[in-house]
Every structure is written in structure tokens, then in C-alpha cells.
Amino acid sequence: MNKILVANRGEIAMRVMRTAREMGIKTVAVYSEADRNMPFVRYADEAVCIGPAPSSQSYLRADKIIEVAKELGADAIHPGYGFLSENASFSKAVSDAGLIFIGPSAHSIEVMGSKIGAKQAAKKFNVPMVPGTEEPLKDVNQAREIARSIGYPILVKASAGGGGKGMRVVNTDEEFDDQVRAARSEALSSFGNDDVFIEKYVGSPKHIEIQLMGDQHGNYVYLFERECSVQRRHQKLIEEAPSSCLTPDVRKAMGECAIAAARSCNYYGAGTVEFLVDENLNFYFLEMNTRLQVEHCVTEMITGIDLVKEQINVARGEKLSFTQEDLKIHGHAIELRVCAEDPLNNFLPDTGKLEMYQPPKGPGVRVDDGYEEGMDIPIFYDPMISKLIAYAGTRDEAIDRLCRAIDEYYIKGIKTTLQFGKWAVNVEAFRSGNFDTKFIEKYYKPEYLQGEGNEEEEIAALLSAFAWHQASSARQANTKSTSASGSGRSKWKLSRS
Ligand code: MV4
């Protein structure tokens, strides 16, 4: 494998290309017109513009991307995350074009892309499930009987769903028909598929996911867990490894279940199995993500494994370079997604120019970013501009280091989630590990961030007030002396300095 085309942009494109370079593999970037000046375009050995800014005309143009890969003699395509990374047709089209897709087979993507298909596959391998159905609901009366037997509250979920879309909580029998109808209609309009199923509603669960790697020779390892419970509208904001609540036994059991789920679809490559975990550490299979995830970095920090390198090695047919016994947890890593969003305005995306952009440095600080100072944040793509990862020996030290790094992350020109992150990791419930997926709903209020992070403005205001005070004192002294001597030059310019 001599040349990889990275079918992505921003920080993950930089991330993949850095590992490729370390492996002596050439890289090709594909970019949209809006990304012409992005660092990843300059970093690649070759770069080709594949279309206008909108993703549908650029980063989702499967045919164009494969055409460029063949024209430039790339051996493989790495999809990153998002865009085409979990598109089974793209995986197949890449293979059909005689190229290597650095990811799982189209079959694995298809099986795990359907929530019902994933549950059916995982159930055959005895992976714990939330009580519910593993078939699409056909007869609403029969479904209501099942709901009664499970016991309310229950959830109606879209099989083709993701990120909470098409999910409805049903608290009573009376609501059942309407909520099923609503879930079906949202699923049909959002995903073109109205298959829904039901599950017992697990109240206030933690979201804990297991990173796994499988090769094309049947070998599997789990690289422990990541806790991703601090989410907002199903968008993760803070992730950490390991979780603060798992015991070694539960960790091992979850890891083995994740591998079982992978085996159920003959998985190979990097994958993540998501679980719901209740307060008694009972865990339930949620879904399997058939891609490298945004938050893979915290796993890399505690295991010392370069997951992109392992993806490339597996894709070119190599066996995993380590066994389960080789893997140990060292220290603690915590990641904050630095997003161009305004936490004071419902986390709405913010746009603008990075007038100042100086990432933090120092021991145990990793910044995976894709922009530079002076660049405009384009409106066309995900608002995440970087991932700030702090690594230390213990969880408390990692949190303290993250706070220091946040204080030294100088960004001007856009609003970001930096101050939200600092607030969040200092909430007692977070520090103690006693939090779940309702953390933001339970603890966050925008007013907690009022006045945070604008020390410079405060200093400027104080200096201005001090200068005004000085000037007015001088004026008064002048007035006294003028009334005696008659010369009254204004000191106004001083008060405005
Ligand atoms: C659940 C659940 C409680 N009980 N399923 C949200 C999106 C999708 N990943 C599945 N989700 C959930 N499924 C049962 N049976 C609660 C959630 C959920 C959630 C899960 C993980 C992380 C954040 C979440 C936020 C809200 C709801």
C-alpha cells in the first residue's frame, strides 16, 4: 500500500495523513472549493478539488472520489468518520474498483447499519439486550401487548435511526398508538424506512462504548471503554477513557460482548460497540459503529496504540500486532470537543474568522485540529474545530490538566465550547463520576458561563476606568490650579486611552 486517498477533511484528514506519513505511505487529499486553503490540503502529497462547498457536491461524491483515487494511482481510501464512512455502497464500490477500503466490509456495515439487524446479530451471540423486540413492529395491538409485558415506560425506536432521531418515549397504554405512528412517520421522512421496534426505557443511563479491533484472520481485541455520557442532543461533548465507574469484571464482560457483536457480522477493522449502563452496572447493547470515531484519541492515549495504523495494517491483510494480554490501561485521558458553537445560545453553530488561534501545549496535552489562525470557519460542515485531549496518571490530574489547557487555548473571533468544558468537568457530579446521559439537562444553565473566558475584556474595562479616574483627578487638580492660573487643557484624550 503506497498511496492512500483520505475522503474527509479537517482534523481527521490531518490525523489519518500523519500516521500514513509515519508509515511511509503517500497521501491524497480531496477537498471542496470552500476548503481550498485548509491545512490538510497543503499537508497531503497530492490534492484534488472535487467540487463546490456543499457536502453533497463534494465529500459525499462517491463516484468522483473513486475516480480521483484511480487517476492518481491510490491503493486505498480512508473514509475517516461521518460522510461516506458508514456507507455500505461506498465500501463495495471502492472494492469493486479494485481499491482497498480502510474499514469493514460492506456486509458488516449493512448488518450494523440497521438497529434491528444489529440486535438480531448480537442476540445470536448472547450479547445482553434491553428487553424489547428484535423484529419490526407489524401489528400495533400485538406490539401493545408486548409493551404491557415489558412494562412502561418504553421506547419506540427507528431501525434505520441514529442519534436519537425517530425515538419516542411511551409512558402509558393510551399514548402507545399515537407515539408509534409518530415514530414511524419521522423514521420514514428522516430515513426512508419506517421500521420501528420497542425497548424497555432505561432511565438515566450512562453511555459507555467499547473500542475493538478485528483483523481478517478472525483475531479480535477490545481496547477498553470510553465514557461518553456528556452529550447534548446526542452530540458528544466530553469523552474519557477509562470510565470512572466500571469494575475490572464489568469491563472484561463488556469487552467480550463487544467482540461477540463484532464476530456476529464477521467484522474486521476498528469498530465501536455502544452500551447503555444503568446504576447497577447492568449493560445493554445499543448499537455498533462501523467506523473510527471522533473520540478514538482517548483510547490511543491510555493504550499507546495508534488506531489509524492498526486500521491500515488490517486493511492490507496483516494480523493484529498485539494480543489482548498485551493491552493494559495506563493513566486517564479526557477529551473536549472544541466546537464553534455558542453555549449561551443553545449551542447554535457560530461562524466567523479565527482572528486568534493558539492551541495549548505542554506535558500530556494533545490537540487534534484542522484550522489555522486567520481562517474562516465554513458554514457547510460540522462545527467541531478541534479535539483537546488531556492525559495524566489519574482522572483528577487529567481533569486539572484539561482545565489548564482550556485556559491556555487562545481563540478569538468565534464562540466555542471551551468554557462550557471547563465548567462541566468541575461540576461535583462530574468530578465524582456520578453523572449520566442527562448531565447537561440536570446541571447546565447558560448563566453559569456568563463572564467566563473574557478576562481580557474585563482587564480592558478596568484599565479604561482607571485611566478615566486618573484623568478626572488631574482635571480637578487643573481646575483648582486654573482658577488660580487660567490655563485649562483638556485631559479627555487620557480618559480614552
Ligand atoms: C435508549 C435510552 C434508554 N433506554 N434506549 C439515544 C440515541 C441512541 N444512541 C439510543 N439512545 C438511547 N437509547 C433505551 N432502551 C436512552 C438513550 C439516550 C441516550 C443514549 C446514549 C447517549 C445519550 C443519550 C441521550 C438520550 C437518550
**Residue type, position 63, single letter:** D
Tell me what pLDDT residue 496 has: 30
CA distance to 46, 243, 339, 434, 472, per residue, from 438 (Å): 45, 16, 20, 11, 53
pTM: 0.91
**Residue type, position 494, single letter:** L
SS3 state of residue 459: helix
CA distance 29 to 7: 7
Residue nearest to atom 17 of ligand 1 (CA): 164
pLDDT surpasses 90 at 397: yes
What crossing angle do the helices spanning 115-124 and 106-113 adopt, rounded to 10°?
100
Does any ligand 1 atom lie closer than 6 A to the CB of residue 277? no
pLDDT digits (tens, 9 = 90+) for 305-337: 999 999 999 999 999 999 999 999 999 999 999
Q: In 10 A of CB 231, how many CB atoms?
A: 19
Testing ligand 1's pocket by substitution, the residue of 112, 169, 207 carrying the most ligand atoms inside 8 A of its CB is 207
Does any ligand 1 atom lie closer than 6 A to the CB of residue 333? no
Q: 126 pLDDT band (50/70/90 cuts)?
A: very high
**164: CA distance to ligand 1 center in Å?**
7
DSSP 289: E
Could you tell me the maximum CA-CA distance found in the chain, to the nearest angstrom?
100
Does any ligand 1 atom lie closer than 6 A to the CB of residue 170? no
Average pLDDT over residues 121-148: 93
pLDDT surpasses 60 at 489: no
Q: Are 186 and 179 in contact (CB under 8 A)?
A: no
Residue nearest to atom 7 of ligand 1 (CA): 164
- Mean pLDDT of the residues in the chain: 93
Tell me what pLDDT residue 466 has: 75
**163: CA distance to ligand 1 center in Å?**
8
Does any ligand 1 atom lie closer than 6 A to the CB of residue 10? no
SS3 state of residue 206: strand
Give strand ranges (E) for 340-449. Answer: 341-342, 348-349, 352-353, 356-358, 365-369, 376-377, 384-392, 410-412
pLDDT surpasses 90 at 71: yes
Q: 480 pLDDT band (50/70/90 cuts)?
A: low
Catalytic residue among 168, 291, 401, 475: 291
Residue nearest to atom 24 of ligand 1 (CA): 437
Tell me what pLDDT residue 176 has: 96
pLDDT surpasses 80 at 210: yes
Does any ligand 1 atom lie closer than 6 A to the CB of residue 201? yes
Contacts 24+ apart (CB under 8 A), 48-55: 48/72, 53/378, 53/380, 54/380, 55/83, 55/380, 55/381
Q: Torsion angle, CA of 464/474/479/484, rounded to 10 degrees? A: -170
Question: What are the structural domains, with CATH classification, of the chain?
Answer: 3-102 (3.40.50.20), 131-200 (3.30.1490.20), 206-449 (3.30.470.20)
pLDDT digits (tens, 9 = 90+) for 18-52: 999 999 999 999 999 999 999 999 999 999 999 99
Testing ligand 1's pocket by substitution, the residue of 156, 200, 437 carrying the most ligand atoms inside 8 A of its CB is 437
pLDDT surpasses 80 at 481: no
Tell me what pLDDT residue 455 has: 63
Q: Are 199 and 131 in contact (CB under 8 A)?
A: yes
Atom index in ligand 1 nearest the CA of residue 199 equals 15
Does any ligand 1 atom lie closer than 6 A to the CB of residue 130? yes
Does any ligand 1 atom lie closer than 6 A to the CB of residue 234? yes
Residue nearest to atom 22 of ligand 1 (CA): 207
Does any ligand 1 atom lie closer than 6 A to the CB of residue 202? yes
Q: 497 pLDDT band (50/70/90 cuts)?
A: very low
CA distance 227 to 281: 13
- pLDDT more than 90, % of the chain: 88
Q: Which of 38-47, 68-77, 136-145 has the lowest mean pLDDT?
A: 136-145
Phi, psi of 29 (to 5 degrees): -100, 140
Question: In what order do the strands lie in the sheet containing 206-214?
Answer: 283-289, 269-277, 206-214, 220-232, 235-241, 332-339, 384-392, 365-369
61 in catalytic set: no
Q: Which of 20-34, 125-139, 257-271 has the lowest mean pLDDT?
A: 125-139
pLDDT digits (tens, 9 = 90+) for 341-390: 999 999 999 999 999 999 999 999 999 999 999 999 999 999 999 999 99
Testing ligand 1's pocket by substitution, the residue of 152, 204, 276, 283 carrying the most ligand atoms inside 8 A of its CB is 276
Tell me what pLDDT residue 459 has: 67
Average pLDDT over residues 185-197: 93
Does any ligand 1 atom lie closer than 6 A to the CB of residue 255? no
